[in-house]
Structure 1
């Protein structure tokens, strides 16, 4: 029986495309929009532009740092660079495919960024990263929660559980 999603660790934005407003409670912002080969790259750029407009309307001259990135490496580099100079009141806003956003959020959490300092807009929720509880490999696949995927590491058939690791940024997969 599938648990009510609000009682799981799966963020709602990892299940359905979302477009939240900018977090205007901060004083400094980093906006990271995933682009590159993603078919929803324009969506991420549009969301980021909307966030910038919202911030500018409430905090004129705030000058949020905006990074349009093509992959996880560029996103991690942008996050790491901005965290090095972050001040009290800093906020992180991420727009892009849910799997990429989960991975970047995990990186931010490992650097002690609080969930209340992160805003995520998901442009695509089709692909999932599934962390194998048996061999620790991560399989990327188009699979629903409670669906089954073959692990790329050990070959076991894994059931995708309604659990996301905040530290790893992937769904939990356990042998069927």
Structure 2
């Protein structure tokens, strides 16, 4: 297993964790991502409320989003009119936070402009290095998941792509497989 200090997986994507809001921002985008009902939805809304309280009178553009795709659209809309000093806060599951973080990184935001409040970290989106298919499953890093594209058993590696937000998955028993000699 990879040591936590040598992994690309943020601490909030390994276990639920809420980063403090950045009070130095001039304006803020607050993306509340995920289910509206149930325990997870309640926890996500509580994170958002805590951040709004922390920020006091600072301008906050809040978006309650059904899923990560809607949150990414809202993020792009806010970034189109953002000025220097804009900060982005994302409350949701680790899976949703990673997806929004990937969009933010692709848009040019730096780590110090982003804050995350992940309320659950048990579901991961895994990218297969063999066929490029992705699968979403409740699996721990170091666990194994079946690839829907090539049917290989994938080891969920302790690495997340900053560009896609997906965990890396590769064939768990590749060294035990017979291979053919090239002619």
- TM-score band by shorter chain is over 0.9
Corresponding residue for residue 67 of structure 1: 63
8 Å contact kept, 1:16–1:125: yes
Structure 1 Cα separation of the partners of residues 118 and 35 of structure 2: 15
Q: Deviations over 1:94-121 (max 9, x none)?
A: 0100001100100110000111111001
1:143 correspondence with 2:139: yes
Structure 2 Cα separation of the partners of residues 146 and 35 of structure 1: 26
What secondary structure does 1:43 align onto? helix
8 Å contact kept, 1:30–1:64: yes
Q: CA deviation at 1:43?
A: 1.0
Structure 1 Cα separation of the partners of residues 19 and 113 of structure 2: 14
Corresponding residue for residue 78 of structure 1: 74
Q: Deviations over 1:19-75 (max 9, x none)?
A: 22211121110000113356411111111111111111xxx3x32100111112211
What secondary structure does 1:169 align onto? coil
Corresponding residue for residue 158 of structure 2: 162
Count of aligned pairs between the two proteins: 171
8 Å contact kept, 1:94–1:119: yes
1:27-176 alignment runs, 5 A limit: 27-36=26-35, 39=38, 40-56=40-56, 60=57, 62-176=58-172
Q: RMSD of aligned C-alpha atoms?
A: 1.2
Structure 1 Cα separation of the partners of residues 25 and 108 of structure 2: 17
Corresponding residue for residue 176 of structure 2: none
1:9 correspondence with 2:5: no
Corresponding residue for residue 20 of structure 2: 21
8 Å contact kept, 1:95–1:101: yes
State the structure with more CA Rg: 2
